[in-house]
């Protein structure tokens, strides 16, 4: 049995389409109460744990950093400690926000993190706690997660296209859109490989290809929808937010492919499936 923390998020929703997955939400394990997470692991005694739950309100985290640290930092640490005690592998989803987002070179797993906002600092705290626990683990950093579930960029663009012929979207933030369905499958594959070979523990990167700007991604969505809406480019300075966003979200994913045999997915393929799901033609039954 695979125990998944998170029940309604994008990746956790996708994980629940797979057999042997038990997903628990806040009613069973409240991440703001880290000890409840450790207790859930001890109760279920799974083969592997996947943490797909997180505090993801990037802007709100600027004023709620204590809560973000509790959920994104302390809770994964408690999970990792329980996993270490029971010799259970932990797969933990992290983010490119642990970096400062400068430059144009894709971030390597060996690059030194330097988060530029409260959300990034809280996620880095979780990574550090997991490594310090000594448990078998894979920390999977990803970026720009999209799906047919919850709020995300694809659903926002689709909604805006219903009423607008032209919108403005930032064009100087570059990254790899990553479909939650692909992340879920990758987490499951990594989990099984960790069970067989704990020496694969470490930090890994995983994002869709090719890298694009948000504006380019928006126009790709409109093109695939065959609608007339056009996204026009603006710089990040014209779209201020409480939390600063990284301009460079590119991730070097070669170590993930070399270690697990998992290549970067093509986001256009995933986008096609997402749009089909949103039209009510979900083919995963």
Give the catalytic positions in this structure: 119
Concatenated DSSP letters for 207-250? --BS-EEHHHHHHHHHHHHT---EEEEE-GGGS--SSPPPSEE-
Q: What are φ and ψ of residue 97, in 5° steps?
A: -65, -5
What is the SS3 assignment for 147?
coil
Q: Is the dihedral of CA 34, 242, 203, 273 positive or negative?
A: positive
**What's the rounded Cα separation, in Å, for the pair 211 and 177?**
7
Non-local CB neighbours of 90 within 8 Å, separated by 6+ positions: 48, 49, 50, 51, 79, 80, 83, 130, 135, 136, 137, 138
Strand order in the sheet with 212-213: 212-213, 174-175, 248-249
Task: Report the chain's terminal Cα–Cα distance, integer Å.
Answer: 21
């Amino acid at each position: 049995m695979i125990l998944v923390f998170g029940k309604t998020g994008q990746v956790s929703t996708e994980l629940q389409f797979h057999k042997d997955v038990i997903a628990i939400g806040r009613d069973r394990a409240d991440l703001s109460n880290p000890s409840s997470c450790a207790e859930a692991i001890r109760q279920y005694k799974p083969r592997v744990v996947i943490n797909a739950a997180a505090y993801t309100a990037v802007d709100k985290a600027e004023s709620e950093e204590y809560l973000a640290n509790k959920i994104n930092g302390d809770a994964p640490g408690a999970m990792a400690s329980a996993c270490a005690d029971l010799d259970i592998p932990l797969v933990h989803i992290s983010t490119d926000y642990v970096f400062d987002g400068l430059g144009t070179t894709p971030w390597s797993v060996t690059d030194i993190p330097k988060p530029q906002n409260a959300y990034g600092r809280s996620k880095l705290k979780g990574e550090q706690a997991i490594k310090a626990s000594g448990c078998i683990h894979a920390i999977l950093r990803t970026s720009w997660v999209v799906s047919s579930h919850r709020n995300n960029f694809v659903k926002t663009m689709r909604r805006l296209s219903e009423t607008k012929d032209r919108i403005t979207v930032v064009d100087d933030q570059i990254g790899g859109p990553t479909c939650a369905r692909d992340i879920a499958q990758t987490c499951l594959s990594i989990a099984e490989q960790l069970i067989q070979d704990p020496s694969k523990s470490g930090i890994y990167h995983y994002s869709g290809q090719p890298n694009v700007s948000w504006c380019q991604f928006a126009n790709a969505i409109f093109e695939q929808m065959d609608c007339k809406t056009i996204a026009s480019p603006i710089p990040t300075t014209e779209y201020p937010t409480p939390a600063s966003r990284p301009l460079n979200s590119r991730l070097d994913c070669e170590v993930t492919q070399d270690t697990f045999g998992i290549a970067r997915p093509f986001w256009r393929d995933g986008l096609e499936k997402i749009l089909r799901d949103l039209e009510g033609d979900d083919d995963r039954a």
